[in-house]
Structure 1
């Protein structure tokens, strides 16, 4: 990743966060919790730009403009709201599970080969 890409990414992130800060307080609180949740359990591609997070801000901006309470937009189960759009995405947990399985399979193959 070149310096220009890093600078561009930072500018995009700052613009994104400026949008978040312009939301009503209750929306900001829920957004920050969603962001934390997605960074912990979310998809690998989440760190590439602001795609999903921008879509959430779009939804929140629309909800706020209509005068809706944030939980009317997300539903009371905010984690489930987060899980739905990422259900088919590869997560860091998936990558780690694959890594563990590959290491075990490789080690077991060595043991099996030695027995022959």
Structure 2
């Protein structure tokens, strides 16, 4: 990764943050909870940026339609998050798989 890639990545992240800040306050709160949840759970593709930017797109559409954020995602933020990544491996999954491979009995 070169310097230009780092600069471009920062530019894209700043633009993403500006989009989040333009959302209504209740949408911002829920977005930050979703972001915190994903940073904790660690879906493998999170760094590519498609997941979080897709959520911002979804939220922008909901806000423009005048829909409340909880009406948009449902009452359980974690369940909403889990549904979005249900077929995506997480870093926890990768760790568990590697631990299971390494737990074979010695000398077997």
Cα RMSD for the two superposed structures: 1.0
Q: Over residues 56-114 of structure 1, what are the superposed CA-to-partner deviations in whole Å (9 max), with x where a residue is unaligned?
A: 10111111111111101111111111111100111011111012112112xx2x422xx
1:14 aligns with 2:14: yes
The aligned residue for residue 83 of structure 1 is 82
Unmatched 5+ residue regions in structure 1?
Answer: none
Structure 1 contact 42–86 (Cα < 8 Å) conserved? no
The size of the alignment, in residue pairs, is 108
Please list every run of at least 4 consecutive aligned residues from structure 1 whose deviation after the TM superposition is greater than 4 angstroms: none
Equivalent residue runs for 1:63-78 within 5 Å: 63-78=62-77
Q: Determine helix, strand or coil for the equivalent of 1:111.
A: coil
- Could you tell me the TM-score, scaled by structure 2's length? 0.94
1:111 aligns with 2:107: yes
Structure 1 or 2: more helix by fraction: 1
Structure 1 contact 43–86 (Cα < 8 Å) conserved? yes
**Which structure's CA Rg is the greater one?**
1
- Could you tell me the TM-score, scaled by structure 1's length? 0.88
- In the TM superposition, residue 27 of structure 1 has moved relative to its aligned partner by 0.3
1:52 aligns with 2:54: no
The aligned residue for residue 94 of structure 2 is 95
